Structure 1
Amino acid sequence: MINLNGQTVAPNDAHLSVTNRGFAYGDAVFETIRVVNSKIMFWEDHYFRLMASMRIMRMEIPGNFSPEFLEEEITGLLKANGLENSPARIRFSVYREEGGFYSPETYHIGYFITAEELPSPFYLLKDDFYEIELFKDHYVNSGLLSTLKTNNKALNVLGSIFAKENGYQNCLILNENKSVVEALNGNLFLVKGKTIKTPPLTDGCLKGILRGKLIEIIKTLPDYTLIEESISPFELQKADELFITNVIVGIQPVNKYRKKEFRTELTKELLSKLNVKARLG
């Protein structure tokens, strides 16, 4: 079942117009949310990021879009799909209503919510070998728009095809200054000695929810220093550890980049702390 503008409908009955602006122009934003037993993980952070994204995209936020209303929409859909007692992945998509070309005729929005079951209620450390490479065919533009979760994901799609065709599990993408920005599906952290680096939002990386939570956790570690600073591709092979974060997987350690293989000791420690933080909300 799918929630389409507040109505729960079967997937075959959930229709969007071919002139939908999210499809025609990428005029849409979305949140990918992890839910466990009907508890929305980091809901306040997701809610405020969605509201901020809509404001930046000059969408009109409906008066009923309170945290309580949207939470009820999500939990109602979970129940309709029999997932109220399961871990689940929610995608909450907001699009501008159709009309106009590049210049929209309205700022009003529509939305839909989808739900699917996840395999585990906890963030797990995967044992599968994980190798990455740089994707250099196209670049992310540094700046505010690149920090949003919008439907403009052509670069991520092409990077994913490149990774698949060349046997990599993921790729890192660069901005116009040739700085490493993030992975195709998450934020990047680099560990060298007792210093942990992650690219700043001004470089164009996604303002990830898990990125924010990991920054909070790392700042409590007395033996480590966190720096939000541009990362050069040359630093990757000098790192002790690399890991990627997103709200569904949690923390994904990188095992290999080119000829360099990485440890995972800090990744394991952070994953344990992240699971505690997730349970506490």
Structure 2
Amino acid sequence: MTTTKVPSTTEARPVAPRRRRGAQARPSWILTIALLAAVAYFLLPLWWLVVASTKSNTDLFSSFGLWFADVSIGDNLRDVFTRQGGIYLTWARNTILYAGTAALGAAALATAAGYAFAKLRFRGSNALFAFVLGAIMIPLTALAIPTYLLFAKVGLTDTPWAVILPSLVSPFGVYLMRVYAESAVPDTLLEAARVDGAGEFRIFVQIVLRLLAPGSITVLLFALVATWNNYFLPLIMLNSPEWYPLTVGLAQWQATSQAGAGSQALFSMVITGSLVSIIPLVVAFLFLQRYWQSGLATGGVKQ
């Protein structure tokens, strides 16, 4: 009996692993190729932007677009920061003001609202949250003209408030924080704090905010990027160039480059200014990513 069973088992053992290796090898190669194609798709425009920012106006149209020619990055940067009396720095200051204030405000409001919808029971909460979900479906461009008419009625157009106040409202951030608060904040912890005599405001400030920090940073990043890249709202709200953000200001330079006879060729300056404008976003994301990923990983281990 032992002589007949042992060969059959020893012969059957190497067969199944070989089939599993062959079945897993093909999908892994396909996945690797798909990931490399996705990386190339997303990084290729960024590479073109870096390369194009080092070229002069002539080299932009006479050289290969994805490789360097005569490096003129120093001249381009000097033109960016000195044109029109250094108005680029004014646009950058405005953009930092709009995006920073809107991101902090949107994260704070979304965190408070999401926690209230998730953990507090009050009359009309379901109907109000359904209204918030409905607001997610409305495109922002459809609200731009009504928002302009409302702000013009109260005299807030052509002021920083015309860009900051609409950016504080983030329906998607409220939805995201409600979903996150439902799993990140234990009900038993809230009940224990209430038994100890803590009020709702104290519970929110000293306990809940620490638990919701990863979600709040996520909303902050979304709001920061959305406000930094916002173009249509500042375009219709602002008339004075000294209040323009970078998006509207660079678009004005681009329009000057594409104008008719007598216009100035500003293509290299617009491209270099676009490259400089994305550097603060990259730095902010890399800096906040540590707290974002570490907080999410910690919450996942605890759950």
Same fold (TM over 0.5): no
Larger radius of gyration: 2
Higher strand share goes to which structure?
A: 1
Higher helix share goes to which structure?
A: 2
Give me the TM-score of the superposition, normalised by structure 1: 0.23
